[in-house]
Amino acid sequence: MPAIVLIGAQWGDEGKGKATDLLGDQVDYVVRFQGGNNAGHTVVVGDKNFALHLLPSGILTPGVTPVIGNGVVVDLEVLMEELDGLAAQGVDISKLKISSNAHVITPYHVTVDKVGERFLGKKAIGTTGRGIGPTYIDKIGRLGIRIQDLFDPSILTQKVEGALVQKNDLLVKVYNRAAVRVEEVVEHLLSFGERLKPMVTDTSLILNQALDEGKTVLLEGGQGTLLDIDHGTYPFVTSSNASAGGATVGSGIGPTRITGVIGILKAYTTRVGSGPFPTELFDEWGEFLRSNGGEFGVTTGRERRCGWFDAPIAKYATRINGLTDFFLTKLDVLTGLDQIPVCVAYEIDGQRVEELPANQSDFHHAKPIYENFPGWHEDITGCTTFEELPKNAQDYVLALERMSGTRISAIGVGQDRNATIVRYPLTGA
Ligand code: GDP
Ligand code: IMO
Ligand code: MG
């Protein structure tokens, strides 16, 4: 009766969508537990390419019940568009369940996100502009609108009125924007009610009952450990708990029911938006990783910043998430390099530091200390076992495993679901 958590070990875009899809056949439920449509999870199945933002990647596997948990923030327009898009591609969307406690992203949250970033100027976080931060601010400030409010127009109106008092002050007096009218927001939100109603339920109850019956639940994270609001590179983070701890709070499944925590780990490092990134490359090697790895955002189309593998980050992900397995992705992207540098520690103010520094300013001026590993030139995309990989590729994986502190149970050698080497069963059992 396991619940398994799958999260990003770095700054997002590690390949969580592909890993979730791969596990789809072994699980009964796939749950998103935090974040919203700031995520962009690409799943390639044969000649079909899916980009999921809000829906769990498990929706693509027949038989799986996809769930949007209470910890997610939901943009209803995006939800409907995504559902329609998938239905048009022949995906069964009828089983989707949405928590009545999930919070709603309204158009004013999107406006505040975008205008707020513009006002920050050079200090901007580089958000996805999807209203994520402002919606979580309202949730914590107890001014949020929840999915369940959409089915009671009178309560909805009261809540929107309450939220807009502050929001309109901010929009008009600080941001020099037009005020938002209560009726226009209420009307917009109510327009989704009828279609939404059959999907809305007590998802915590359903998931716990499923676990009682011996079913398997996969909790699919958005973003990554270093974008976590508590454990990431604050303030250059997202506004939710993207690390494993968020999975229990964001789904209503207790921590004792979780038997495995899989960290998705890219064989190099990328990040989108602002913030410190010690191994970032500004030369032709950064360009090599970006073009070979197709490192362009699925949500915003932005170029991803690219750099070498950072072992202290992987070790930190092991610690923060209590990982049982790593799924190492995109090893194939490194093919063709003579030498592969790996950051094994940092130099901070003349000192060698092995752990991620607890002080953010230290991390900003951490210089990577590199060790070089010999590369390989053979095409590895067709390898199906660890032993088939060139010796240098095997050694690279084993070195990463040793430095990261968690066994590498699966290795991605290409975009397709099948381009995966499984070394140990990934169910965390
Ligand atoms: P996510 O946000 O963690 O789901 O990751 P994204 O979908 O944003 O970015 C990962 C990209 O890498 C996607 O385009 C995947 O199809 C692709 N990908 C995943 N695993 C592999 C792999 O092992 N090799 C290659 N070449 N591409 C992969
Ligand atoms: P997936 O699930 C990579 C980044 C943004 C920005 C910061 C805050 O595809 O891995 P937000 O809009 O969340 O307030 O932006 O977080 N960010 C991501 N980076 N992958 C993601 O999701 C991200 N979701 C948010 O670029 O730096
Ligand atoms: Mg992504």
**pLDDT band at residue 1 using 50, 70 and 90 as cut-offs:** low
Q: Is 317 exposed, middle or buried (0-12, 13-18, 19+ CB in 10 A)?
A: buried
Expressed in angstroms and rounded, the spacing between residue 185 Cα and the centre of ligand 1 is: 37
Expressed in angstroms and rounded, the spacing between residue 41 Cα and the centre of ligand 3 is: 5
Mutate to test the pocket of ligand 1, among 265, 329, 384 (most ligand atoms within 8 A of CB): 329
The residue whose CA is least distant from atom 17 of ligand 1 is 415
Q: Over pLDDT 90: what percentage of the chain?
A: 96
Is pLDDT of 300 > 90?
no
40 lines ligand 2 (CB under 6 A): yes
Mean pLDDT (the chain, rounded):
96
53 lines ligand 2 (CB under 6 A): no
pLDDT of residue 147: 98
Among 13, 21, 138, 325, the one annotated catalytic: 13
Is pLDDT of 216 > 70?
yes
Task: Give the CATH fold of the 3-99+200-262 domain.
Answer: Adenylosuccinate Synthetase; Chain A, domain 1 (3.40.440)
Beta-sheet strands, E only, within 24-151: 29-32, 41-45, 48-52, 65-68, 73-75, 97-99, 103-105
Residues with CB under 6 A from ligand 1: 8, 12-18, 39-42, 44, 294, 298, 329-330, 332-333, 412-415
The residue whose CA is least distant from atom 25 of ligand 2 is 38
Spatial distance between the Cα atoms of 362 and 312, rounded to a whole number of angstroms:
14
* One CATH from 1.20.1560.10, 2.30.29.30, 1.10.300.10, 1.10.132.20 for 103-194: 1.10.300.10
Domain locations in the chain as residue ranges: 3-99+200-262, 103-194, 265-422
20 lines ligand 2 (CB under 6 A): no
17 lines ligand 2 (CB under 6 A): no
Is pLDDT of 358 > 90?
yes
Which atom number of ligand 2 is nearest to the Cα of residue 224? 10
DSSP 303: B
Is pLDDT of 285 > 60?
yes
Expressed in angstroms and rounded, the spacing between residue 42 Cα and the centre of ligand 3 is: 7
| Ion ligand 3 residue ranges (Cβ < 5 Å) | 13, 40, 298
Which atom number of ligand 2 is nearest to the Cα of residue 132? 14
**What count of other Cβ atoms lies within 10 Å of the Cβ of residue 184?**
12
Spatial distance between the Cα atoms of 339 and 159, rounded to a whole number of angstroms:
58
Instruction: Look up 365 and say whether it is catalytic.
Output: no
pTM of the entire predicted model: 0.97
Is pLDDT of 318 > 90?
yes
**pLDDT band at residue 36 using 50, 70 and 90 as cut-offs:** very high
φ/ψ of 398, rounded to 5, equals -65, -35
Expressed in angstroms and rounded, the spacing between residue 12 Cα and the centre of ligand 3 is: 6
99 lines ligand 2 (CB under 6 A): no
Six-digit token pair at 196?
């939404």
221 lines ligand 2 (CB under 6 A): no
24 lines ligand 2 (CB under 6 A): no
223 lines ligand 2 (CB under 6 A): yes
186 lines ligand 2 (CB under 6 A): no
The residue whose CA is least distant from atom 11 of ligand 1 is 15
Among 21, 41, 231, 332, the one annotated catalytic: 41
Q: Which amino acid, 395? A: D
Is pLDDT of 426 > 90?
no
Task: Give the CATH fold of the 265-422 domain.
Answer: Adenylosuccinate Synthetase; Chain A, domain 3 (3.90.170)
Q: Find the mean pLDDT for residues 268-288.
A: 97
- Tell me which H or E stretch contains 422: strand 420-422
Beta-sheet strands, E only, within 297-361: 305-307, 309-310, 325-329, 339-348, 351-353
**pLDDT band at residue 429 using 50, 70 and 90 as cut-offs:** very low
Q: Is 209 exposed, middle or buried (0-12, 13-18, 19+ CB in 10 A)?
A: exposed
Expressed in angstroms and rounded, the spacing between residue 13 Cα and the centre of ligand 3 is: 4
Orientation of helix 107-120 relative to helix 132-140, angle to 10°: 110
Within 8 A by CB and 6+ apart from 287, the residues are none
pLDDT of residue 297: 87
Which atom number of ligand 1 is nearest to the Cα of residue 17? 4
Q: Say which ligand is closest to the CA of 304.
A: 2
Q: Find the mean pLDDT for residues 386-403.
A: 98
**pLDDT band at residue 298 using 50, 70 and 90 as cut-offs:** confident
Q: Find the mean pLDDT for residues 233-250.
A: 98
